[in-house]
Structure 1
């Protein structure tokens, strides 16, 4: 990454990063735009760190930061999660986030949060283990 504070470089970098996050986009290293290439490579590395190598195939379900946050929250609330459709590589990542939530689990906070959600008309279904 050269000069992320340069607005032109930064824009090209983030365009490349977005393209790299898309597992269906092709490598653009043939372009002379180094900012785009740097962003693409960074985005692809981030994608593959969560979903596995593209060379091994594109999974049915793609893990994003939002999915990770949902698994962390499920662990915090002690809610069971569904891992159907994820690869073994992805499940290992998701379980780390879920486990991190479980480690921070506080039954009192869980009760308070569930009460607040119910007061606002949000139903949370979970099953006792």
Structure 2
């Protein structure tokens, strides 16, 4: 299986377990790997045969901005399900970072994998 990826995508979302966190949208960072078959895109050299990075990024940013979760785990699950509904991916790994959430740490977060990785 081939993989396309996006690293360091900045999202804004209402997220947090504490009420003071939920007063405004917070900055999150997302890393994403999508398992898909890129052979058609490679053969045609046509965007319509590929998973569009910009369409995926826009979809994630829009979805995150409209959600309201307490936990990163819930937001990550929502984003993963949304991507699998709208794009031809068989597998994904989504890492969601919450910079500044823990003093002394550059970032904390969650990484989830959904779907099945095809064996060669």
Q: TM-score range by the shorter chain?
A: under 0.3
- Rg (Cα) greater in structure: 1
- With the length of structure 1 as denominator, give the TM-score of the two structures: 0.22
Greater strand share, structure number: 2
- With the length of structure 2 as denominator, give the TM-score of the two structures: 0.23
Greater RCO, 1 or 2 (C-alpha within 8 Å, sep 6+):
2
